[in-house]
Amino acid sequence: MGARRRRAPTEIGSKRDKEGCMKSAKALTLVEVLIVVVIVAIILAIAIPSTSRHVIASNEAVTVAALKQLVGAEATWRQTDPDGNGIQDYWTLDVAGFYGVQDSSGSLRKLIGCDLADADESPCVSYPGHVSCARGGYKFQAMVWDDGAGKPTRYNMNYVPTAKNGVLRRAAGAPGGTYATACNSHLFGFCAVPDKYNTTGIRVFIVNEEGVIYGVDRGNNTFITTWPGTDPTQKTLNGRFWSVVQ
């Protein structure tokens, strides 16, 4: 019988070396994947908060600009008497009225855009196509009381509360006109709050007839209904002072 041919040692060693390299390659690939996953996680951990801060800063800037629009709309309102009540007054009933109040021909006044009017949290004036939604991550509302003189007075001077459900009615002796119940000859106030606190915005903003915008982080998105004194920077809200924004 012929002798069995023995495999050369070099062939056996070569095969083992190849198998070892393949295993090492597979192990290295797994390590690489884990490294990539860790790197991506780190990048996201840095990028997401940065993006969130950018969104909040952008929304707050848009909101400050919107409050300036309301101040401008009030100046136009006082000069042009859109409600036809014959009085040089400010519109103090809501935000939506700057868009939705109709003139004598039934046309909408549109002193602001419908997007800002739609962001009114408590609209009293309705108009075609109204859809309630935030604007730039914020919602808006007309303030109810002015505390500038130390004694709260209503912004809606021709409105008085009734005992039933807090419904407002025209005060006795109030001037006529379709929307005369919203007049105030020298005062107005508006507030803007984040639609979602710490997501779409942080600070609450207010503005009145002086045109100065104040802001504060009150820790939530609750509306302010009363103007905080003659100098809001001397007042605190939830332990935090108001500051001048613009």
Q: What pLDDT digit, counting tens, does each position of 67-107 carry?
A: 999 999 999 999 988 877 677 889 998 999 999 988 777 88
Span of 32-46, 97-111, 141-155 with lowest mean pLDDT: 32-46
Whether 168 shows a pLDDT value over 90: the answer reads: no
- By the 8 A CB rule, do 103 and 178 touch? no
pLDDT at 125: 86
Residue 119's CB is within 10 A of a number of other CB atoms, namely 26
| Amino acid occupying residue 107 | S
45-75 pLDDT, tens digit per residue, is 676 665 688 899 999 999 999 999 999 999 9
Q: Which residues pair with 95 in a beta bridge?
A: none
| Amino acid occupying residue 233 | T
Helix (H) or strand (E) holding 78: helix 9-80
Distance CA 75, CA 208 (A): 12
Distance CA 135, CA 70 (A): 14
Beta strand extents in 143-203 (DSSP E only): 145-146, 153-154, 159-161, 168-170, 183-184, 189-194
Mean pLDDT of the chain: 81
* Cα 140-142-144 angle, rounded to 5 deg: 140
Q: Model's pTM, two decimal places?
A: 0.74
